[in-house]
Structure 1
Amino acid sequence: MALYLLVFGVCFLVIGSVIAVLMSSRTPRYRTEPKDLLALFDKALASQVSETEWNALIGYPIRHDDYLEGVRRRASHLMDEHGRHWQIAQGKPLLSAEGQAELKALRDHLAAHTALHAR
């Protein structure tokens, strides 16, 4: 009987501890910041970004900043219009020449907006 109570007590303690930890922890959150988008755009312009990396950042909605959400949507739209998925494996740019020009303009606009808000 003592062994039963010991096993029951240890199991109760372990399960209770696990439940307490799970109840007190929060869901992890990732906040996309302007520097993250700028780094991604720079890598895309230098043809050093993979499609997976692009989709991971651009495919995730930005709910904390409406301006960044607009930039993200514009970048997603650029990929839809000018994306060249089949040439990434060959080391060629992610976007066509026209898409690269539009992405550079979008990147410069985001950099200017970020610098303005940093003041």
Structure 2
Amino acid sequence: MALYLLVLGVCLLVIGAVLLVLMTVGTPRYRTEPKDLVALFDKALNSQVGETEWNAIIGYPIRHDEYLESVRRRASHLMDLHGRRWQVAQGKPLLNAEGQAELQVLRDHLAAHTALRQK
């Protein structure tokens, strides 16, 4: 009987500790910042980004900044129009030449906008 109570007590202690930890830990939130988008655009322009990384950042809505959300939507639209997903595995760029040019313009605009905000 004593062994049963000891096992029951240890189980209740472990379950209680796990519940306490789960209740006190907040939900993790990912917040896309301008530097994240600029870094992603740089990688895409240098053909160093994979489709998974692109989709992870561009596919996630940005709710805290309307301007960044519009940049994200424009980048997503560029992928829809000029994306070459099937050629990334061969080491080729994520976007065709026209898409690369438009992404460079978008990247420069975002970098200039970010620099103005920081001043």
Into which bin does the TM-score normalised by the smaller protein fall?
over 0.9
Q: Which runs of 4+ in 1 moved over 2 A?
A: none
What is the CA deviation profile of residues 94-114 of structure 1, one whole-angstrom value per residue up to 9, with x for unaligned ones? Answer: 111111111011000000010
Q: Secondary structure at the match of 1:100?
A: helix
Which stretches in structure 2 are left out of the alignment for 5+ residues?
none
Q: CA deviation at 1:90?
A: 1.8
Match runs of 1:56-95 below 5 Å: 56-95=56-95
Match runs of 1:1-119 below 5 Å: 1-119=1-119
Q: Report the residue type matching 1:10 in the other structure.
A: V
Q: CA deviation at 1:78?
A: 0.2
- With normalisation by structure 2, the TM-score equals 0.95
- With normalisation by structure 1, the TM-score equals 0.95
Q: Report the residue type matching 2:86 in the other structure.
A: W
Q: Report the residue type matching 1:29 in the other structure.
A: R
Q: CA deviation at 1:88?
A: 1.2
Count of residues paired in the alignment = 119
What is the CA deviation profile of residues 43-90 of structure 1, one whole-angstrom value per residue up to 9, with x for unaligned ones? Answer: 111111111111111011111111111100000000000101121122
Which stretches in structure 1 are left out of the alignment for 5+ residues?
none
CA distance in 1, matches of 2:44, 2:114: 19
CA distance in 2, matches of 1:49, 1:92: 10
